[in-house]
Amino acid sequence: QKEVEQNSGPLSVPEGAIASLNCTYSDRGSQSFFWYRQYSGKSPELIMFIYSNGDKEDGRFTAQLNKASQYVSLLIRDSQPSDSATYLCAVSKAGTASKLTFGTGTRLQVTL
């Protein structure tokens, strides 16, 4: 079992819809959770992070964390074609000095 699992996609959503991206992790000691966006041929860029159970909103993005279910998700409201990219979930554990473990990413396609 991989430490961080994501559906590779592609996830196709129409413009204006809500895109829901999911991630599960295996280590209950994981304490911090990150979502990165990576455009084709570019480097990953941080979208947002979450530490506590519940929802965290930033503009059109909402991260949701459920530690009991070992599940973290990213919702993108009013999806735009410019949101088409691969979304990487990453987790870190306490005491690992910022070390992140990444999932393999979900490719999102926003269609016109």
Partner 1 sequence: DARVTQTPRDKVTEMGQEVTMRCQPILGHNTVFWYRQTMMQGLELLAYFRNRAPLDDSGMPKDRFSAEMPDATLATLKIQPSEPRDSAVYFCASGSGWETQYFGPGTRLLVL
Binding site for partner 1 (CB under 8 A): 32, 34, 42-46, 49, 88, 92, 97-105
Question: Hey, what amino acid is at 74?
Answer: L
Least distance to partner 1 from the beta carbon of 81, Å? 23
Compute φ and ψ for 60, nearest 5 degrees.
Answer: -85, -5
Least distance to partner 1 from the beta carbon of 88, Å? 7
Whichever of 17 and 31 has its CB closer to partner 1, that residue is 31
Whichever of 12 and 96 has its CB closer to partner 1, that residue is 96
Least distance to partner 1 from the beta carbon of 7, Å? 13
Least distance to partner 1 from the beta carbon of 72, Å? 15
Whichever of 45 and 57 has its CB closer to partner 1, that residue is 45
- Beta strand extents in the chain (DSSP E only): 4-5, 11-14, 19-25, 30-38, 45-50, 54-58, 61-66, 71-76, 85-93, 100-102, 106-111
SS3 82: helix
What gap in Å lies between CA 95 and CA 62, rounded to an integer?
A: 27
